[in-house]
Amino acid sequence: MKKQILITIALLTVFSLALAACGNQPTSVPATVEPVSPAEVVAEGRLEPIYGVNLFFQARGVVEEVLVNEGDSVKLGDVLVRLSNAGGAEAQVVIAQNAYDVLLRNESGDRAKFWQAYMDAQIVRGDAEKEWDDLNVDSIEDNIEDDKATVEDRQQDLKDAQEDFDKYKDLDQDNSSRKNAEDDLERAQEDLNQAIRYLEENIRERDEIRAAYDAALAAETEAKHQYEISLDGPNADQLALVKANLDAARDTLSNYVITAPFDGVVAEVNVKVGEQVTVETRAISIADFRQWIIKTTDVTELEVVKLSEGQSVSLVPDALPDLILKGTITQISQAYTQQGGDILYTVHVTVKNPDPRLKWGMTVEATFQ
């Protein structure tokens, strides 16, 4: 908006000078008018924390724990949210970490610790096995088959209801026959949705416990293998293998646990305990609000050539017009975007004197000296 005002002022000045020249000079002598251009580059930008990220799960599951609230400070590596099927993966990481630590601490091998890791893995496997054995799988699978049949029935009901509604859909909306058919169609859809939910709940009840049992079996097998190879003493190949196992276990765990990628503050918590999530569910937003940057949105090719890194910038948030911030250009993008026929470049400005009232996403007017 400010750019438009400056351009308008410049055009009016040129026009006024031209009129004055026409009134005071003979018509045979053309008036010479110097072009008017603003001395400053003014742009709009968005306020962003120096680090900000939205965190997603890498697997489907049910949220078991939410360990932070909005506004909490977190450290790199802090666990923020866990899914209910993370237990087996966590046990596998512990076992792999123990095996790796033992090799690093003692080049001659530490059979006792490998043995203890193996024993721990057996306990985890035993608990998972008992939970699986206690589960009445036959009953659940019978329920699943019944639920599948119910879903098919509800699908047929929905189809029938749709066909009935199609007979009356062209009638006036206040027509009683049309309204009754529409109500029947809505109930049929609700019944189908409920039947699908029951089916999914029974499938999850069986599959989550089985997945934990399978993970515990794999962890026990790996712990036993590590103990057995420790009998021959450590070597470079063994160390590389244990490290690879640890990395793989951590990768698996990262599917079920979200940790803080840097020191910062929890900006938003978007999940709750008991909620079913997918890989598309944004769980947590974290940011480092100790430093702010501005990213411009409308610096043109004619303006960017006047700017350079280290240049001073005056910043005024639209929401805080009485607040004047100081900034410095820290980066000018080499790539461009095209918008409405204009070639635009993004300029990054670091705020020198942040104010506690600043909020993520605020619009800021930047004046480049």
Do the Cβ atoms of 206 and 141 come closer than 8 Å?
Answer: yes
Q: What is the 3-state secondary structure (H, E, C) of 291-304?
A: EEEEEECCEEHHHH
- How far is residue 352's CA from residue 354's CA, in Å, rounded to a whole number? 6
Please write the tens of the pLDDT for every residue from 215-245.
999 999 998 888 887 766 556 677 777 778 8
The confidence score (pLDDT) of residue 362 equals 93
The confidence score (pLDDT) of residue 285 equals 92
- For residue 303, give Cα distances in angstroms to 315, 328, 345: 17, 16, 9
The confidence score (pLDDT) of residue 105 equals 67
Residue type at position 113: K
Residue type at position 109: G
Do the Cβ atoms of 327 and 366 come closer than 8 Å?
Answer: yes
291 phi and psi, to 5 degrees? -140, 135
The confidence score (pLDDT) of residue 4 equals 47
Task: Please choose, from the candidates 48, 45, 39, 49, the residue with its C-alpha nearest in 3D space to the C-alpha of residue 365.
Answer: 45
* DSSP per position, 310-366: T-EEEEEETT-TT--EEEEEEEE-SS-EEETTEEEE-EEEEESS--TT--TT-EEEE
Q: What is the separation, in whole angstroms, between the first and last Cα of the chain?
A: 18
**Residue ranges for the chain with pLDDT beneath 50:** 1-2, 4-15, 17-20, 22, 26-29, 31-37
Task: Please choose, from the candidates 251, 241, 296, the residue with its C-alpha nearest in 3D space to the C-alpha of residue 59.
Answer: 251
Please write the tens of the pLDDT for every residue from 91-109.
777 887 887 777 766 655 5
Using a cut of 0.85, tell me whether the model's pTM lies above it.
no
The confidence score (pLDDT) of residue 16 equals 52
The confidence score (pLDDT) of residue 87 equals 63
